[in-house]
Amino acid sequence: MILVSCQDLSKSFGSRLLFERISLGLSEGDRLGLIGPNGSGKTTLMEILAGRQEPDGGVVSVRKTTVIGFVSQDAVFAPGRTVREILEEAASTLALEEHERDGRIAETLGRVGFQDPGLLTSALSGGWRKRLAIAAELVRSPDVLLLDEPTNHLDLEGILWLEKLLSGARFASIVVSHDRYFLENVATHMAEINRLYPEGLFYVRGDFADFLEQREDLLAAQKQQRESLATKVKREVEWLRRGAKARTGKSKARIGSAERMIGQLAGMDSRARTGTAGVDFTATDRRTKRLVVAEQLAKALGGRELFRDLDFVLAPGSRMGLVGPNGSGKSTLLRLIQGALEPDSGELRRADNLRIVYFEQERDALDPGTTLRRALAPEGDSVIFRDRTVHVAGWAKRFLFREDQLPMPIGALSGGERARVFIARLMLQPADVLLLDEPTNDLDIPTLEVLEENLLDFPGALVLVTHDRYMLDRVSTFVLGLHGDGVAQLYADYSQYEEGRAARTVSAAERSAKAAAQSEPARKKLSYLEQREWDQLESRIEEAEARLAALHLTLQDLEVASNPARLRETYASLEAGQEKVNQLYTRWSELDGKIT
């Protein structure tokens, strides 16, 4: 059953056409991955589907009673609010009694992973703010969830959590993302907004790999069609040049056909003129074999140890992928390599006159009031790139900016456009070592592919912090994993890091269980009836918790949620089930207290 659909949508901003004649539908259980070049209108399309914008033309149809949730790229919350207050505000629009809302909020907090609902939103990292934004929509039990670049700011653990959440969800979803592994693991359907396609959108039933295969077939067929049409147009143009006169009906028809073919070819050529940012980092001629050497490096911040006993060597051609959860010290290590921070102990040696270029994750260093012209060429109307003078208009074109955009303030650019400005500025600086802190945020897939190619060709050393697992696998020659507890380990690739992380998780759980077992006091013998009850208590608790979990799942059922009588009945069962679990745990504590 179709939940939301659109037919022949079009949208423009001023004289700039974003898209036209866009049509697609989303049915129950669908997980649609939506991609497209920066500026193609993906976010605008999502906002139109969510009812936040109106299209210039076309129709959006939403099935009656369908609840649509929308998670934007940037999670912004009012200052001074707690996590629970944000969810309470989101749940306040629901026609539920107070205890029902409290149950819904508690369930959502558990699904998203929040353990302290009293935390202020200002104290949350970017990744946890994104989780909270998702939670605020989940608490409303949406039928359709629209997520715009949800993996931005999430660490690898957060991305894996989101993959699991979406893959097991009852609701349908549309996800705008440039994370290729994420799309492959989540999407059941794919769509790309791109002027390459006659209808402006290419839709595939299948995962990201299926999409790539079918798109390749389509583009090959379009290329063959264009070549065939170009041959026909050439023949007709030669006929017209010989002085064809429209004296007969047959001649008139042929002239009309030639004009239509010329127009069709012009349209195909116009659609084919898509650009990709020209990323090409400038290296120095340094021949030193050891650019950066770290020995027994250690660093702590705020009383917490980030890493210790860390050894590595950066040489020309080495590309180190730096991974770990948020707060594990990745950006801190980049600052140490750069020289902006000093280690607590150990030694970090840099080659003489080493030139380091640093791409920062936070891009607020650019004054939003500065024009694009001045941001690209700070000292005039041209730049010097590889000993050549390039006019600012040509330099802007290399990064897919139009000349009429040069007077625009930086604050008016999209996230992807600001990322391209940063890359353009970095390319003007010759480097021995590139430090890239989340360079992939907001970049479209074609630009990511060009960035990867140039990082592979860069002859200097590279340290790459990214949550893009595809880029890590393709670019890194080795991976340094920071585990957030002081331990830092080197791995051959990202897959080995994942295996090591999983093994550490299992090992930690085993150590915790062993410590708990060792700390248990010797048990006093219970009475016959008490011992019998004690032996059965664990299984009774498991059964009661399983029934409680099943009731929570029932609450997510659309039929139950839309039936007030069944909803009241289910909540009553839920309360009774929770009370039963509480009683069992109380009895467990009583019997346990008798054991010395």
Does any domain span residue 510?
Answer: no
Residue type, 509: A
pLDDT tens-digit profile of 55-105? 999 999 999 999 999 999 888 898 889 999 999 999 988 888 888 888 889
Judgement on whether residues 194 and 225 belong to the same structural domain of the protein: no
Judgement on whether residues 11 and 86 belong to the same structural domain of the protein: yes
Q: Flag whether pLDDT at 555 surpasses 80.
A: no
Judgement on whether residues 328 and 343 belong to the same structural domain of the protein: yes
Sole residue written with tokens 């708990």: 516
Q: What does the pLDDT average to over 269-294? A: 67
pLDDT tens-digit profile of 186-204? 999 999 998 878 778 899 9
Q: What is the dihedral of CA 388, 394, 400, 405, to 10 degrees?
A: 130
Does any domain span residue 284?
Answer: no
**307 neighbors 299 (Cβ within 8 angstroms):** yes
pLDDT tens-digit profile of 431-443? 899 999 888 877 7
> pLDDT at position 237, please?
64
Residue 234 vs residue 87, higher pLDDT: 87
- Structural domain that includes position 226: 214-272
Judgement on whether residues 298 and 421 belong to the same structural domain of the protein: yes
Judgement on whether residues 208 and 220 belong to the same structural domain of the protein: no
Full-model pTM: 0.69
Among 438, 472, 479, 480, smallest CA distance to 456 is for 472
> pLDDT at position 25, please?
93
Q: Flag whether pLDDT at 3 surpasses 60.
A: yes
> pLDDT at position 342, please?
94
Q: What does the pLDDT average to over 529-553? A: 78
Who's near 12: CB < 8 A, 6+ residues apart? 18, 56
**441 neighbors 365 (Cβ within 8 angstroms):** no
Q: Where are the beta strands (DSSP E) in 67-143?
A: 68-71
Judgement on whether residues 419 and 542 belong to the same structural domain of the protein: no
Token reading at 232: 């026909």
**Domain count of the fold of the chain:** 4
**577 neighbors 547 (Cβ within 8 angstroms):** yes
